[in-house]
Amino acid sequence: MAKFVDAADWSGVPLKSHDVGTRANRKHSYPFGGVCYATEGEMLLAKLLIEMGVPFTPNVQFVLKPPPGRRSRTDVIFVPDFIFNKQAYIWTDENGREELIHGLEAKGMNPDQFTAKGRAKVRLLRETRGINVRLISTKEIRAYLRSGTLPMRPLK
């Protein structure tokens, strides 16, 4: 079992949900617990996190500076679906590999649908602030919902 140290930099990051354009009166929104989620996968993941007692804030906005040498000079905005209120968890994948995570981002029906742009934002957040957000597909979320739990535990 690997030993993890949480070195996340949360300076200047308020735990505040940002409006990402999903409202209850939109044709495709999924209201649950006072929040309107953009996808069914996000709503199902919120239900599972609540059932597991994992504290979270949805849609926390990060403003990230692109690393030196990148062509883009503008800030990158990333709003992950779920941040675990500045707490770290250990995720164990189906092969038994563990990783430290601070949140989840529901993307697409299958893992092979994760876009390069989505992966790049996750990587930039991890590289610049040490905050790791795991991408998770709706297919995976449904499987975890059937089992009643996500394969994660708090870092102690």
Cβ contact 43:37 at 8 Å: yes
pTM of the model: 0.89
| Residue among 102, 116, 111, 103 at smallest CA distance from 137 | 111
> Given this model, what pLDDT does residue 61 score?
95
> Given this model, what pLDDT does residue 99 score?
96
> Given this model, what pLDDT does residue 117 score?
86
Q: What is the block-wise mean pLDDT of the chain (156 residues), using blocks of 10 residues?
A: 89 89 64 85 95 96 83 85 98 96 88 82 94 95 95 95
> Given this model, what pLDDT does residue 21 score?
64
Task: Name the percent of the chain in helix, strand, coil, to the closest 5.
Answer: 25, 25, 50
Q: How far apart are CA 31 and CA 2, in angstroms?
A: 38
> Given this model, what pLDDT does residue 19 score?
75
> Given this model, what pLDDT does residue 147 score?
95
> Given this model, what pLDDT does residue 25 score?
53
> Given this model, what pLDDT does residue 92 score?
97
Domain range list for the chain: 30-154
